[in-house]
Amino acid sequence: QQQVKQSPQSLIVQKGGISIINCAYENTAFDYFPWYQQFPGKGPALLIAIRPDVSEKKEGRFTISFNKSAKQFSLHIMDSQPGDSATYFCAASWGYGNKLVFGAGTILRVKS
């Protein structure tokens, strides 16, 4: 019940295209859903996050879509660039000060 399932495992997108990564969860106590970007040899960097009181949040080229009834959320990267090539992790948590439960990660490669 604590799991967060992430797909796809890897993704290749042409420059300028839209990258879409999906996550699903079971635990309805989760109320905080961040996405992290990780480059090789670096720590995860917080990219964007959403709470279940909204269905969508946009920051620049990054958008989170959230479907509470389906218990799913997704990351959309518009106008994908080669510099976006990284591993993306979704995560979930609840309240304040609690652990993050991470998805398995998606390796994104943007071809120029």
Partner 1 sequence: EPEVTQTPSHQVTQMGQEVILRCVPISNHLYFYWYRQILGQKVEFLVSFYNNEISEKSEIFDDQFSVERPDGSNFTLKIRSTKLEDSAMYFCASSARETSNEQYFGPGTRLTVT
Contact 65, 57 (CB under 8 A): no
Tokens for 44, please give them: 């995860």
Q: What is the largest CA-CA distance in the chain?
A: 41
Residue 48 contacts partner 1 per CB under 8 A? no
Please select the residue that binds partner 1; options are 69, 70, 95, 112, rule is CB under 8 A.
95
Size of residue set near partner 1 by CB under 8 A: 25
Tokens for 29, please give them: 């106590």
Residue 42 contacts partner 1 per CB under 8 A? yes
Stretch 65-94: interaction string toward partner 1, x if CB under 8 A: ------------------------x-x-x-
Nearer to partner 1, 42 or 68 (CB): 42
CA separation for the pair 71, 52 (Å, rounded): 10
In the chain, the amino acid numbered 66 is F
Please select the residue that binds partner 1; options are 13, 23, 85, 105, rule is CB under 8 A.
105
